[in-house]
Amino acid sequence: MKISSLNLRGAGCAKAGAGVRLNHTVNSQNEIFMRAFVFPGQGSQSPGMGRDLADNFPIAKAVFDEVDEALGEKLSDIIWGEDADALTLTQNAQPALMATSIAVTRVMEAEGDFKLADKAAFVAGHSLGEYSALTAAGALDLSDAARLLRLRGESMQAAVPVGEGAMAAVLGLDLDAVREVAEAAAQGDVCEAANDNAPGQVVVSGSKAAVERAVVIAKEKGAKRAMLLPVSAPFHCALMAPAAERMAAALAETTIAAPSPKLVANVKAEAVDSPEEIRQLLIAQVTGSVRWRESVLWMAEQGVENLIELGAGKVLSGLARRIDKRVVGANAGTAADIEALLASLN
């Protein structure tokens, strides 16, 4: 079904359009280098995501069908069901978010009659979103990405017994200050800066006792807020080493092509397109910090002015201008969003 044939006008579409007021230039080649597509990470999931696309576009339905087949179960029933707890389980949330992002991407490409590389200089994804970015850019096969993310979720959950690890958000301190907090809190345990999301928004991860100490120390050092996060495991820290080993074995057997456009990698915060380097960076990402703030800053320095989030939620598009005032964030997760986005891209 064509987007133009859907009844998307009115308040819903106007709202979507308001979120995609992108910067423009006259030269189309320059526009490519002013744009990047980005893909959300865990926490952006919500029951029902992608359902309107699957109901109206066979190309989107085919994405969810392929992921179901790759996993040997109906993950789509969990995505479109009412059990938010089942969807939140990391082994479900990771492939589910990827499937939704790829459904959005494929509808956008089909309706707009272009490939991502025709419209953007880079792709990037937050944590698991890096797999979505690589799949969208043709570096990973969809079925392989689904199986890798299921394994990644299971391995990360199994790496640390429930209750022995934790993560906490620290607001109002910069990355260097949070690193000092983590070092002071470690006291022989693991406590590391895991996600550098935006100025004054850093997440620490590690042993539960150490992270609890970090919350107290951060407040003493002037953090506006420091609070434990409702997560099931301490992601992106040294405690994830067993998961990194399992991912290394799986990735060694996975075909990876050069992405087009290039990937701005989480742990490197700059563009890469070498399949072997990408393989190694995906392994390092399991225990390494997500350098999202630095990644956006790097893209801005290359001339990127528009950061378009494809998939569920608006987390990354919301962070864009907080990171660099030159960058405008937009998002597309529904048919209405895609219609408004295509109008801006054409």
pLDDT tens digits, 207-244: 999 999 999 999 999 999 999 998 889 999 999 999 99
In this structure, what token pair is assigned to residue 314?
């608006």
Quote the pLDDT of residue 30.
62
Quote the pLDDT of residue 181.
98
Which are the catalytic amino acids?
127, 236
d(CA 300, CA 31): 13
Residues 6+ apart with CB under 8 A from 91: 150, 153, 154, 157
Rounded to two decimals, the pTM is: 0.91
**Residue linked to tokens 């069908």:** 65
Quote the pLDDT of residue 345.
82
Exposure class string for 267-284: b at 16+ Cβ within 10 A, else e: bbbbbbeebeebbebbbb
**Residue linked to tokens 């700059």:** 270
E-strand stretches of the chain: 35-39, 122-125, 165-171, 191-198, 201-207, 225-228, 262-264, 271-272, 306-310, 328-332
Nearest to 193 by CA among 206, 208, 207: 206
Quote the pLDDT of residue 13.
31
For the chain, domains (ranges, CATH) are 3-159+240-345 (3.40.366.10), 165-231 (3.30.70.250)
* Greatest Cα-to-Cα distance within the chain, rounded to the nearest angstrom: 61
Nearest to 261 by CA among 94, 136, 105, 165: 136
Quote the pLDDT of residue 184.
98
What Å distances lie between residue 152 and 25, 27, 103, 180, 306, CA to CA?
40, 41, 21, 29, 30
- Alpha helices per DSSP H over 288-334: 292-301, 315-323
In this structure, what token pair is assigned to residue 133?
């970015």
CA 269 to chain centre: 14
d(CA 115, CA 192): 38
Angle at 63 between CA 59 and CA 68, to 5 degrees: 145
Quote the pLDDT of residue 23.
44
Burial (Cβ within 10 Å: 0-12, 13-18, ≥19) of residue 112: middle
One-letter amino acid for residue 27 of the chain: N
Contact between 248 and 198 (Cβ < 8 Å): no
Quote the pLDDT of residue 162.
85
Angle at 291 between CA 128 and CA 213, to 5 degrees: 95
d(CA 317, CA 307): 7
d(CA 117, CA 326): 22
> What are the beta bridge partners of residue 328?
306
Quote the pLDDT of residue 28.
53
Residues 6+ apart with CB under 8 A from 132: 39, 40, 97, 98, 101, 102, 125, 145, 310, 311
Q: Which residues of the chain have pLDDT under 70?
A: 1-32
Omega before 261 within 30 of 0, i.e. cis? yes
Return the CA Rg of the chain: 19
The model's pLDDT over 71-92, given as tens digits with 9 standing for 90+, comes to 999 999 999 999 999 999 999 9
